[in-house]
A and B are shown apart, each in its own frame.
Chain A
Amino acid sequence: MRLKIIVTLAVIAGLILAWNLHRIFIQVPDEASQGAIFRIIYFHVPAAITSFTGFYLAMFSGVGYLISKDLRLDSIAASINEVSLAFATITICTGSIWGRIIWGIWWTWDARLTSYFVCLLIYFGYFMLRRAIDDPTTRARLSAVLSIFACVDIVLVWKSIEWFRTQHPGPVLEIRGGGGMAPGMEAPLWWNFLALLMLATALVLIRTRQEGMRREIDALRRHAHAF
């Protein structure tokens, strides 16, 4: 059942992505000032939104663990965070490529880049902590707490860094108070967002299952060691 869901999600996501690639590269015209490279936004922005959605969902899953003590919720939280970290890395990489073309530099300590980098570091810490704890129950407890701290901190990091002068292009999408994109240019972005979200869900399901197996192996090992 779970396998079917995973396959279905992945296949649909793949189809949407393929169809979208066609639209993005063939149908959508070059942007007036940036030229061809602007197309990277179709992956950059959806990946960013997906990663943040993930970090917060993972926090709720962690809080759920603290309330219910059900280790499956911890597995879900860890899986979501891992996939979100991957998407955050995609965001940084695509942004960096874009920056090389438009700004002429791979990296600048602009507000949003810096904030994103801080988020990455915080979640590297999350996985470092998880790896260092042997007992799955303690691991679940502490990573849930760290997740709460991280999610609260992200908001503060974002706000405080934003108060420095920003080099990053302002909000593009209408919902964030940007001017919006030309008609026909914005639709593929939302489709891509949907596709990446489905892909992320499929990945999370796979990772959750692996985590479940890992718990089982750990329990078996403890059984074996106990006697």
Chain B
Amino acid sequence: MPTGSTVSSSAVSIDGVWKYYGDYPALRDISFNVDGGSCLALLGRNGAGKTTLLRILGGLSKAARGRVSILGKDARAGSTRQRIGILGHGIGVYEELSAFENLSLFGQLYDLADPRRTATEWLERTGLDRVRDGLVREFSRGMRQRLAIARCFLHRPSLLLLDEPFTALDDRAIQVLQDLLKSAIAEGRTIIMATHQLREALELATDVALINRGKLAYRGARTWEMLEDPGWLYRHYGEA
């Protein structure tokens, strides 16, 4: 696991982050840290600000105020993005390109040593090697999702940002993703997962953060009572 020259011990540290849409604060003074090697479930209702926060962490958007440091560096720095893997709402692969072309494109963008070999490897790992040269627009939904998962993991990121990863996946894709996440956890990589599917998320998670109307409502370790009663957190820390 590459920890490199990280200054702080936290993989991700978020310090007083605000984000506005006009004068409306979508995120209000969010501060928390995520330790390296942990798996954080970022919970909250639709529109609570989970996606906004993930986008800031992934360097897709900027905080209006506050500091975000990832593996000791600024979120938008090129070297930081090199170490982040993002799986968002869209699958982020091109319809007009083949599975192999998609993966080797991203291999080139991440400046991997051998993009073509890496692409082939990941096609095998996600069970897409038989449709290697098929165009994505001919793929079934499940195949696209597996390709998206491969795109997210292909550069061996040390931090994974997943936005509603299990929503809309078919069984096989869920299986692939769960296996990859488990091995990522075993390798000590950090995972932040925004979701409102409590049960799946809490099984994997070591940590929990709950965002409510753009504010951090709860941050702590995942406990057994959460697993037994996933609604517990919302009842105690969600809005009244």
Q: Decide whether A and B are members of one complex.
A: yes
What are 28 A-B pairs at a CB distance below 8 A?
A69-B64, A71-B20, A71-B22, A71-B23, A135-B21, A135-B22, A136-B22, A136-B23, A137-B20, A137-B21, A137-B22, A137-B64, A215-B22, A215-B23, A216-B23, A218-B22, A218-B24, A219-B22, A219-B23, A219-B24, A222-B21, A222-B22, A222-B24, A223-B24, A226-B24, A226-B47, A226-B213, A227-B213
Nearest first, the 5 closest Cβ-Cβ pairs linking A and B are A136-B22, A219-B23, A222-B24, A219-B24, A218-B22
**Complex CA–CA separation, A141 to B20 (angstroms):** 13
B23 CB, min distance to chain A CBs, angstroms:
4
A56 CB, min distance to chain B CBs, angstroms:
26
Residue in B closest to A226 when the chains form the complex, CB atoms: B47
**Complex CA–CA separation, A227 to B20 (angstroms):** 17
Most buried by B among A215, A219, A226: A226
Chain B, 59-76, contact with A by CB distance < 8 Å: what is the 0/1 string?
000001000000000000
Residue in B closest to A135 when the chains form the complex, CB atoms: B21
A208 CB, min distance to chain B CBs, angstroms:
15
Chain A interface size, under 10 / 10 to 19 / 20 to 34 / 35 or more: 10 to 19
**Complex CA–CA separation, A14 to B196 (angstroms):** 62
**Complex CA–CA separation, A219 to B47 (angstroms):** 15
Contacting residues, chain B, for A136 (C-beta < 8 A): 21-23
Chain A, 190-227, contact with B by CB distance < 8 Å: what is the 0/1 string?
00000000000000000000000001101100110011
Since A218-B22, A223-B24 are in contact, a sample of 7 more A-B pairs with Cβ atoms closer than 8 Å, ordered by chain A residue number, is A69-B64, A136-B21, A136-B23, A137-B21, A215-B22, A219-B23, A222-B21
Most buried by A among B20, B22, B23, B47: B22
SS of B interface (majority): loop
B210 CB, min distance to chain A CBs, angstroms:
16
Interface residues in A35-63 by Cβ distance below 8 A to B read none
Contacting residues, chain B, for A218 (C-beta < 8 A): 22-24
Interface residues in B6-51 by Cβ distance below 8 A to A read 20-24, 47
B21 CB, min distance to chain A CBs, angstroms:
5
Residue in B closest to A227 when the chains form the complex, CB atoms: B213
Contacting residues, chain A, for B21 (C-beta < 8 A): 135-137, 222
Interface residues in A126-140 by Cβ distance below 8 A to B read 135-137
Interface residues in A163-194 by Cβ distance below 8 A to B read none
B180 CB, min distance to chain A CBs, angstroms:
34
B30 CB, min distance to chain A CBs, angstroms:
16
Residue in B closest to A212 when the chains form the complex, CB atoms: B23
Residue in B closest to A136 when the chains form the complex, CB atoms: B22
Contacting residues, chain B, for A226 (C-beta < 8 A): 24, 47, 213
B17 CB, min distance to chain A CBs, angstroms:
13
Chain A, 100-144, contact with B by CB distance < 8 Å: what is the 0/1 string?
000000000000000000000000000000000001110000000
Interface residues in B86-128 by Cβ distance below 8 A to A read none
**Complex CA–CA separation, A222 to B21 (angstroms):** 9
**Complex CA–CA separation, A71 to B20 (angstroms):** 10
A36 CB, min distance to chain B CBs, angstroms:
51
**Complex CA–CA separation, A46 to B22 (angstroms):** 35
**Complex CA–CA separation, A226 to B64 (angstroms):** 20
**Complex CA–CA separation, A69 to B23 (angstroms):** 11
**Complex CA–CA separation, A14 to B23 (angstroms):** 36
**Complex CA–CA separation, A88 to B24 (angstroms):** 34
Residue in A closest to B45 when the chains form the complex, CB atoms: A227
Contacting residues, chain B, for A216 (C-beta < 8 A): 23
**Complex CA–CA separation, A136 to B22 (angstroms):** 4
Contacting residues, chain B, for A71 (C-beta < 8 A): 20, 22-23
Contacting residues, chain B, for A219 (C-beta < 8 A): 22-24
Interface residues in B195-240 by Cβ distance below 8 A to A read 213
Residue in A closest to B22 when the chains form the complex, CB atoms: A136
Residue in B closest to A139 when the chains form the complex, CB atoms: B22
**Complex CA–CA separation, A71 to B47 (angstroms):** 23
